[in-house]
Amino acid sequence: MNTRNSHRARAIVLHTLDYGESDRIATFYTREFGKLKGIAKGARRSRRRFANSLEPFSFTQVLFSRRGGGDSLAMVDQCEIIDHFPMIRSDLEKSVAASYLVELTGAFTVEGKRNEAVFQLLVDFLSLMENGPFRTGLLSFFEIRLLGLAGYEPILDRCSRCHVPLDAGRTFHFSNSRGGLQCSRCVSVPEAAPALSLGTIRSLLHGKALPARNLSRLLLSPRADDESRRLLVSFIRHILGRELKSWQVLRQLRQLDAINVDTC
């Protein structure tokens, strides 16, 4: 059987790789098919069929064909830009942050498994970054939602051992191995993870539950921002067993910014 089926999908480009003289291999997160990898023949020569659509975090409509279903490599025939996110691309910090969102999505998803909520999450957060200022809180809210969609939702509304609620008058620590909070009575090695402020925990719960369009109005205190980043970066590194490249670049960029501000 050598028949190829043609498909059309809305997609965010997660990753691209130049291949041979003129081809490009791209990984997409599509609304209709989940994560999809395809080869675009002549992509680096044909502006008519691909324009500049095959770039990380572009929002495109992709036409492709493949044999059967599942996770075989697709042949990408054409890509049309829906949104190139020009305001993100003109800002270095936003560009690196958007690269982080797509790299993280790639790391937490498998090919051939459709999850429309993951696609919508990417579209919503890229739109928030395109239309508003960049805040690190957005990364935390994205991460906590993606973790939930990928089956790693951290337990933040109670102690993961004895189930006491947040208002029980105890302090809470986050445990990567338990994937959730432990109260001061259950935690075995208190110095391993510092106690979190209740404000941080409540901000994360709030940031997870709010409709995405309202997130640009949710401001984290410096302490909640800092504690959220530490908790989520450490938990994600624990799950993936590595730190993502784009996160390393973003962190270096922010350290550089801090030095420049200090020396001005």
Nearer to Zn ion, 79 or 186 (CB): 186
Closest approach, Cβ 172 to Zn ion, in A, equals 8
Which region among 12-20, 179-187, 188-196, 234-242 touches Zn ion (by CB under 5 A)? 179-187
Nearer to Zn ion, 186 or 231 (CB): 186
What whole-number distance in Å separates Cα of residue 130 and Cα of residue 88? 5
Q: Which of 97, 102, 121, 183 binds Zn ion (CB under 5 A)?
A: 183
Please spell the DSSP secondary structure of 157-175, one letter per residue: SB-TTT--BGGGS--EEEE
CA distances from 112 to 30, 37, 38, 237 (A): 10, 9, 12, 24
Closest approach, Cβ 173 to Zn ion, in A, equals 10
Nearer to Zn ion, 144 or 183 (CB): 183
One-letter identity of residue 55: E
Nearer to Zn ion, 205 or 212 (CB): 205
Closest approach, Cβ 70 to Zn ion, in A, equals 44
Nearer to Zn ion, 155 or 205 (CB): 155
Q: Which of 161, 202, 237, 254 binds Zn ion (CB under 5 A)?
A: 161
What whole-number distance in Å separates Cα of residue 88 and Cα of residue 195? 35
162 part of the interface to Zn ion, by CB under 5 A? yes
Which region among 92-100, 134-142, 151-159, 210-218 touches Zn ion (by CB under 5 A)? 151-159
Number of residues that bind Zn ion (CB under 5 A): 5
Instruction: For residue 191, count other CB atoms closer than 10 A to its CB.
Output: 7
Please spell the DSSP secondary structure of 78-133, one letter per residue: EEEEEE--HHHHT-HHHHHHHHHHHHHHHHT--BT---HHHHHHHHHHHHHHHHS-
Q: Which of 54, 76, 186, 201 binds Zn ion (CB under 5 A)?
A: 186
What whole-number distance in Å separates Cα of residue 232 and Cα of residue 241? 13
The tokens describing 177, both together, are 């191995």
Identify the DSSP state of 27. E
Nearer to Zn ion, 3 or 188 (CB): 188
159 part of the interface to Zn ion, by CB under 5 A? yes
Q: Give the footprint of Zn ion on this chain (CB under 5 A).
A: 159, 161-162, 183, 186
